[in-house]
Amino acid sequence: MASHESLESYRVEFQPKVPHALRDISTLSFVNEHRVTVDEEIRSLLSHLDNDWVLKCIPSTVVFPRAPLRVGVVLSGGPAPGGHTVIAGLFDALHEWSPESILIGFEDGPRGLLKNAARQLTQEEIDRVRNTGGFSLLGTGRLKIESAEEIAQVAATVQSHNLDGLVLIGGDDSNTDAAILAESFRSQGIHTCVIGIPKTIDGDLQSPEIPISFGFDTACKVYAVTIGNIGKDILSSKNTYFFVRLMGRVASHITLECALRTQPNMAVISEEVAAREMTLPDLVHDTADLVEERYAAGRPYGLVLVPEGVIEQMANVKQLIAELNDLFAPSHHMSSAIKQCQTLTERLEYVSDTISEVSRLCLSMFPQAIKEQLVYERDPHGNVQVSKIETARLLALLVQAELRTRAAHTGTQTPFSFQTAFCGYEGRSSFPSNFDCTYCYSLGRLATSLIARKMTGFMAGITGLHLPVSEWEPHAVPFASLLHFERRGGARKPVIRKTLVDLSGSLFRYFVDHRQAWRLCDNYLQPGPLQFFGPPSLVDTPCLSVTLRSSTLP
């Protein structure tokens, strides 16, 4: 139990504001807003769902009959600050709809749906976790619901609870599963509606009606605190480089947002690396140039941000990783032999003998520790576990070697000492920012409203997040409009499309316009801790990725 003076006791009492459109959930309506384009193959996969329109939620005067609702909720994938507040929003709205409504929580992510590990959530439990971080209320997991048997098991689970709705709080992978479940339930006449909530600190689950996924705002603010503090430390000692790796499995939204908040000397953006077809040696050269230029300017120290996902985006590493992913896919004839290898070294040897000559050459560039990290298991969705690969250390070590090579040619050694840091797991479970609390509470209310109207196969989306909360506009976004095909686990699969950093977008252009000035100077910013009390400009303002993208930049 939180002690009276703890921050937690204040956070659980925080009351998020509610958009005008979601205030009275008994009367609001959903109306067609605009048509969406849907891939024909996706349309035929989801042929029982309403795929063609994004709907907008508007206040109305029509009063709906209000029978109690039975709704299930699952937290899925990596934690993100605000998950508990989505559940609180769901719970409150369900009880506003009818005091007899019931919210059932499935435990440990999708596994809870498969195993029917569930419990009815009580007011007391909800009140204890409102606006607190992490997914500890129910736990989470990355299990993929894919086979016909698994889908049938989940159908049996929802029927055993006679659920009117199932809310999946997850990222692109979990919401892909939600789309398949929605289609399967509808096609079998199961009345359970499936609604997705856009979660991921990576910020790459976006659409025109989903400006950002929840958790991104808080995670970036938490990471910016660490980076800003490291910047101060660097300027105090003036003799060390810090290479800070940041989460973001594919997209570099987190790194870009943190760069704008802290103004490092260099921030690698994976999307730019991919677009320029840069190789690992190219990146090493660029970074070694930075070190030499700063040394020449009397600054033998610096701050470099590295997104964890860059490892997969470098031209020469891409093919290696694609080959490894295929080898690890359960469908590959060698995957079980690889799993039987007793040690990582054994596994590495086995794999090296199997991959192409080009990839073997690429692998040989890496230090042994990184080679072993590259052959870790893939996650259940076939993704490389980039959080376990020390990309910042790899870059720093290769820069050190490059500077030695250059010194051997020029006879002048550039001093270079470095440290590494990882902004990762701690950002996923921090107390959510006021913005994330407000956003998540609204998402929960929106999910309840959709289920109450028997709508299925939609993701909850809210636009206007840069405006006052009362003006936020809730939407229902068909899953079909978000899906495309990708190669995963050695096969072509439907998955929700990730939104990458837009290299022609205003945010990236702002970064490009300023990064040269940050390169040689010491312009680091120190944003300081995430604030919950004080002037609205300090406590309520959303991340730059929301505010700058929506404004006209100078």
State the residues that interact with ligand FBP by CB under 6 A: 77-78, 80, 142, 171, 199-202, 247-249, 308, 379, 385-387, 428
Report, in Å, the least distance between residue 77 CB and ligand FBP.
Answer: 3
* CB atoms near residue 60 (< 10 Å): 14
Report, in Å, the least distance between residue 308 CB and ligand FBP.
Answer: 6
Q: Which is nearer to ligand FBP, 173 or 209 (CB)?
A: 173
Q: Which is nearer to ligand FBP, 201 or 260 (CB)?
A: 201
Q: Which is nearer to ligand FBP, 11 or 199 (CB)?
A: 199
Sequence length of the chain is 554
Of 312, 435, 442, the closest CA to residue 382 belongs to 312
Q: Bridge partners of 418?
A: 241
Q: Which is nearer to ligand FBP, 283 or 386 (CB)?
A: 386
Are 493 and 470 in contact by the 8 Å Cβ rule? The answer is: no
Which residues have a catalytic role annotated?
Answer: 202
Q: What is the 3-state secondary structure (H, E, C) of 59-108?
A: CCCCCCCCCCCEEEEEECCCCCCCHHHHHHHHHHHHHHHCCCCEEEEECC
**What is the C-alpha separation between 295 and 271, in angstroms, rounded?**
28
Q: Which is nearer to ligand FBP, 249 or 406 (CB)?
A: 249
Q: Which is nearer to ligand FBP, 255 or 265 (CB)?
A: 255
Report, in Å, the least distance between residue 68 CB and ligand FBP.
Answer: 32
Report, in Å, the least distance between residue 242 CB and ligand FBP.
Answer: 20
Report, in Å, the least distance between residue 141 CB and ligand FBP.
Answer: 9
Report, in Å, the least distance between residue 1 CB and ligand FBP.
Answer: 28
**What is the C-alpha separation between 370 and 346, in angstroms, rounded?**
15
For every residue of 108-120, DSSP letters joined together read TTHHHHHHT-EEE
Of 430, 429, 497, the closest CA to residue 459 belongs to 497
Of 490, 516, 506, the closest CA to residue 554 belongs to 506
CA dihedral 318, 330, 498, 36 (to 10 degrees): 130
Of 454, 505, 497, 450, the closest CA to residue 37 belongs to 497
